[in-house]
Structure 1
Amino acid sequence: MDFFDNHKKLFWTAFLFFVVLTMLVAIFPALNNQRNYEPLPNAEPLSEDAIAGKAVFVANGCVACHTQQVRNVDMDKTWGERPSIAADYAGIHRTDFWRNTATLMGTERTGPDLTNIGNRQPSLDWNLVHLYNPRIVVKESVMPAYPWMFEVKKHPAEGDVVVNIPEEYLDGSAGKVVAKKEALQLVAYLQSLKQTKLPDGSPVPEFLYKRAPKAQPGAAGEEEQLDGASLYTANCQSCHQANGEGLKGAFPPLKGSKIVLDDNPELMVDIIMNGYSGRIQEGFGPMPAIGTTNNLKPEEIAAIMNHEKTSWGNNARKVTVDEIKKLIETVKVKSAQK
């Protein structure tokens, strides 16, 4: 019993037990994973700005609300093209000897998962407006604003990135809102978050626990239609707004849009599938290829288009699913020929 009366023996025994457990439970498995996993062949390393932006992301507490992992459940299709795999994180290293901010996988989704945000929302304009005040683009957002990453200048200098902020959010400030370096670095990091495509021939993990898509009952004798309003909210509303009026100087309106009202829907399908940058000279940022990035099915695209064609006072001809299927193949061919 002398052992239990000797505090030095007890301390060193507990310490050695702790060390052995740490080696067996944490260190050896981590080293084994490091040997067995490599980044995907097409994975791109972070740029210097993105690395600095990652530090800004951590310093401002973004890690508390946003995860960076797509689980293999159907509800996570919103965030990525496929479930996350170990190789997605194999090339992410420690910040330095003392700090390990490698994966930033998080523990909850108070805000959206950001694994693939660089593809889902690559727009510099949108991200900067969203950082300045999230309520400008998402009225129901609970995300805090980060106005200290911006400054107001009466006469922006050459090279300054001016952010188009509606007057009602400027608090009477006279001048233009200009993004500071840390805001641009943070956006560079967000734009770098893209799921790397698996090598050709590699099986893509399936999403489990399929959910039945929400549908609206059709008229007598007609098939049920997908809920275009819900699909619009999930894929388009953050830029074009719930009222379809967009955001002046940043995102064009769909209300009264010639493209939306056109009886020939080919250009509209092309924009949804391949993105659009034809209005940059007017101050609008480029639109990402939402249809391709979010893996929207022809039925979903048709539902979104019909919602846009018949909402906010628009009164255009509705499209059919068969029509959209043919047009998707057409714009794919045209895009490949460019």
Structure 2
Amino acid sequence: MEFFDNHKKLFTAAALFFVGLTVLVAIAPAIHNQNSNASLPGAAELSPDAARGKAIFVANGCVACHTQQVRNVDMDKIWGSRPSLAADYADIHRTDFWRNTATLMGTERTGPDLTDVGNRQPSKDWNLVHLFNPRIVVKESVMPAYSWLFTVKKSPDSSDVVVNVPPGYLKGKEGKVVATRDALYLVAYLRSLKQVKLPDGMPPPGFLYKKEAAKTEGKQPAVAGGQQLFTANCQSCHQANGEGLPGAFPPLKGSPVVLGDNLETYVGIIMNGYDARAEYGVMPPVGTNMDFTENEVAALINYERSSWGNNGKQVTPEEIKKIMDFVKLKPADK
């Protein structure tokens, strides 16, 4: 009973018990996990600009609408090439000594998952337009406009990053939309979000619970597959009606490239991107980023050539394969 009557012994014992239990239950397992788990080979640390962009992402509560985790269900194939692994988050560091950092995995998808958005949508021009006003590129978007990350200048400096915003979105202001440093930092972070490929010989986790096959409304299977590829990879810039956005992204409806006979240029643009016209944003190498096969490229071309009133010649995977082997490492024509 003397022990319970001696407050010094009592509180000392309680403190030691608390510290020991904390080490056993929290600290030791955390150290074990840290020493036992590592990021995947090839995973790159955030650049200084991307790290600043992550802080802006956190400060604006973007995680409330966007997750950063691909689950092992079939519907998540549209967000990544494989389900997320613990190793994808192994290189997340503390903000500083006193503060932990959010993993940003999120809990819901009011907006799309961003795990692999750096591959799905690597275009800096598109991301800047989207931040300025999401409705410019996605009419149904409920995302708020981050126009405060931009300024409007009548005479931009040579060092300014000018955003190609279509007419009618400046609310009476005159001049050019210029991205601030914070906007560029945020885009740098978004473009850094890429799934790292698994080491050779390591099978990726499978996707479960397959969705029902989409209705093709009488279209040929190749064209229907091309529509899905277009929706997932091209529609955000070129729009569902194929008319693009004036001053931002070119139309595919009636395009001489889409309807022409120069398949080498066409396939080269899909695989290697394109940057030849100052009035439009830079197109990223979508086909290379997404590892398109000849079947996927052929399906995409056939869809674009048979949609929006286009009536171009259909192609086969065999002829696309020959061209892909030639243009794969060759930059698209300027």
- TM-score normalised by structure 2 residue count: 0.85
Q: What are the within-5 Å matches in structure 2 for residues 245-264 of structure 1?
A: 245-264=243-262
1:215 deviation in Å? 5.4
Equivalent position of 2:72 in the other structure: 72
- Where 1:245 maps in the other structure, the secondary structure is coil
How far has the Cα of 1:226 moved from its partner? Answer: 2.7
**Are the structure 2 counterparts of residues 19 and 156 from structure 1 closer, same or farther at C-alpha, using a change threshold of 3 Å?**
same
CA distance in 2, matches of 1:185, 1:302: 36
Identity across matched positions, percent: 65
Q: How much does 1:223 deviate?
A: 6.4
Structure 2: give runs of 5+ residues left out of the alignment.
Answer: 1-8
1:71-150 alignment to 2 at 5 Å?
71-150=71-150
Given that 2:258 and 2:312 are in contact with CA atoms closer than 8 Å, whether structure 1 keeps it comes out as yes
With over 3 angstroms needed to count, the CA separation of the structure-2 counterparts of 1:20 and 1:238, relative to structure 1, is farther
Write the letter of the residue equivalent to 2:203.
Answer: V
Query: Whole-Å Cα distance in 2 between the matches of residues 248 and 101 of structure 1?
Result: 40
Give the secondary-structure state (helix, strand or coil) at the position aligned to 2:168: helix
TM-score normalised by length of structure 1: 0.84
Aligned to 1:265: 263
Where 1:288 maps in the other structure, the secondary structure is coil
Letter in structure 1 aligned against 2:92: I
1:39 aligns with 2:39: yes
Q: 1:144 Cα shift? A: 0.8
RMSD: 3.2
2:328 counterpart SS class: helix
Alignment of 1:98-247 (within 5 A): 98-199=98-199, 201-209=200-208, 210-211=210-211, 213-214=213-214, 216=216, 226-247=224-245
Tell me, yes or no, if the aligned pair for 2:67 and 2:107 is still in contact at 8 Å: yes
**Which SS does the other structure have where 2:173 is aligned?**
coil
Query: Residues 49-68 of structure 1: matches in 2 within 5 Å?
Result: 49-68=49-68
User: Where do 5+ consecutive residues of structure 1 fail to align?
Assistant: 1-8
Distance 1:293 1:127 in 2: 16
Other structure's SS at 1:84 match:
coil
User: Alignment length, in residue pairs?
Assistant: 330
Which piece of structure 1 moves more, 153-162 or 51-60?
Answer: 153-162
Alignment partner, residue 291 of structure 1: 287
What is the distance in 1 between the residues matched to 2:222 and 2:131? 39
Would the aligned equivalents of 2:166 and 2:248 in 1 still touch at CA under 8 Å? no
Q: Residue 164 of structure 2 contacts residue 280 of structure 2 at CA under 8 Å; is this kept in 1?
A: no
CA distance in 2, matches of 1:21, 1:218: 66
Residue pair 2:271, 2:288 contacting (<8 A) in 1 also: yes
Deviates more, 1:204-213 or 1:238-247: 204-213
Partner SS for 2:84: coil
Q: State the shift of 1:233 in Å.
A: 1.8
Distance in 1 of aligned mates of 2:258 and 2:31: 55
